[in-house]
Structure 1
Amino acid sequence: MAELNTGGGDGKGKKVRSKKQNAGVDLTAMVDLAFLLITFFMLTTSMNKPQSMNLAMPDKSDDAEKKEDSKTPVDENRTMTVLLGADNKVKWYMGMPQQPLDGPNDSSYGQNGIRKVILENSKKALAYSQDVEKGLIVIIKASENANYRNLVDILDEMAITGTKTYAIVDISDADLDMLGEKK
C-alpha cells in the first residue's frame, strides 16, 4: 500500500517527500495456474507412438545340423533376388545367381520401378506353381554401401505388393560383381 506522510518535516525546512516502495506482485496464483495447465495438457494429449514394421528374424544357431535341416529347396522359377547398392541402385534377377533366368536388370524405387517388377514376377510365379501358397519368393540383399532408407523402401514394397515370402540375406561376392561394387 502506498503510505502518505502528512507530518511536517524534520524541522529543517526541507520538503517532505514520500518514500516510493517497489510494488510487489504475488505470483503464487500464476504458478498454480501454469501447473494446472501443464497437467491438463499432459493428460489430454496423446503421445505419438513410434511407427515400426514387424520383421521376424530366425534365431541364430551354431549347430551345423540345424542349419542343414533348416535349408528348404526353392524353385528357381519362383525366386526373385533384389540387390541394393550405393547411390539408390536397385538390380534384380530371377533364378539362381550362377545362371539367372531373367536379368540382372536395373530398376528404380516406386510404383513404376521395382513394384511393377515384383507384381509382374508374382503373377508369373503364381501361374507357374498353380498354388496360391507357392507365390513369389523375394530375396533381398543389401551391400554395405546401400543406405538404410533403401532397405526400408524395399520392405515397404513387399508390404504394398502383398509378397508373403521374403528374406533379408547377406550379399555374396557374385552379387557384388553384378552391382559393380568391390568388397
Structure 2
Amino acid sequence: MAELNSDGGGGGKKGGKVRSKKQSTRVDMTPMVDLMFLLITFFMLTTTLAKPQAMDLAMPDKDDKNKDEQLDVADTRTMTVLLGSKNKIEWFVGLADNPISAPTVEDYGKNGIRKAIIEKSKDIKASTGKDMIVIIKPSDKSNYKNLVDILDEMKITNIKQYAIVDINTPEIELLKRDGVY
C-alpha cells in the first residue's frame, strides 16, 4: 500500500523563511509482485504447448539383402512427379521417353497437383482395377519444403504407394525443356 511520510521537510531554525513541509510517498510493491506470480502461473498452466507434427515414413532397412532387386510395375499405373525450381512440379504417367499422358507443369495446392493426382488415380483405378503408384523425383533445384509439400499431398489424396527416387538425365532434360529446372 502507499504511505505518506511527514518527517523532514521545513526548516528547524527559528526566523528565516517559512517553508511548507514536503511529504514523500513510498509505494509498497509486495502485492504487485504477488499478482505477477499469480498471473504467470495461471498462464503457464492454462496454455497448451505446441505439439510437434511428424509424418510416419516407411524406409527400407539399411542391411536389406535384396537392395538391388527392383519391383516391376506397369507403366500404365505409375505417375512420376518431378520436383523443379520456383515451386513448380512436372508430372506424367508412364516413362519419361514415352509418356502415356503428356508432361504437365503444375503448382502445389488443391487446384494444382492435388487435382491432377485425384483425377489420374480415379482413371487408373477404373482402367486397371489397381491403385496408382506415385514416383517422386526431386531435382537439384527443388528445396526441402517442396518434398514435404508433395508428401503432404500424398497423405491428403490417400495415395498408399509412393516412392522417393533419384532423378535421371532424361527427366532433368524434360524439366529444362519446360523451364522448371
Taking structure 2 as the reference length, the TM-score comes to 0.79
Query: Percent same amino acid at aligned positions?
Result: 55
Contact 1:83/1:141 (CA < 8 Å) preserved in 2? yes
- Structure 1 residues not aligned, in runs of 5+: none
Matches of 1:53 and 1:74 in 2, distance apart?
A: 26
Count of residue pairs the alignment pairs up? 175
Matches of 1:127 and 1:9 in 2, distance apart?
A: 107
Change (3 A) 1:15 1:163: same
Matches of 2:171 and 2:12 in 1, distance apart?
A: 103
Is it true that 1:42 corresponds to 2:38 in the alignment?
no
Question: What secondary structure does 1:100 align onto?
Answer: coil
Matches of 2:31 and 2:144 in 1, distance apart?
A: 51
Select which of 130, 135, 151 maps to 2:131: 135
Q: CA deviation at 1:160?
A: 2.4
Q: Please tell me the root mean square deviation across aligned C-alpha atoms, in Å.
A: 2.9
Change (3 A) 1:37 1:137: same
Paired letter, 1:10: K
Deviating beyond 6 angstroms after TM superposition, the runs of 4 or more aligned structure 1 residues are none
Question: What secondary structure does 1:43 align onto?
Answer: helix
Question: What secondary structure does 1:151 align onto?
Answer: helix
- Structure 2 residues not aligned, in runs of 5+: none
Match of 1:67 in 2: 67
1:111-159 CA distances to partner (integer Å, 9 max, x unpaired)? 33322321222123223432xxx40000111112123333333223222
Contact 2:8/2:22 (CA < 8 Å) preserved in 1? no
Taking structure 1 as the reference length, the TM-score comes to 0.78
Match of 1:10 in 2: 13
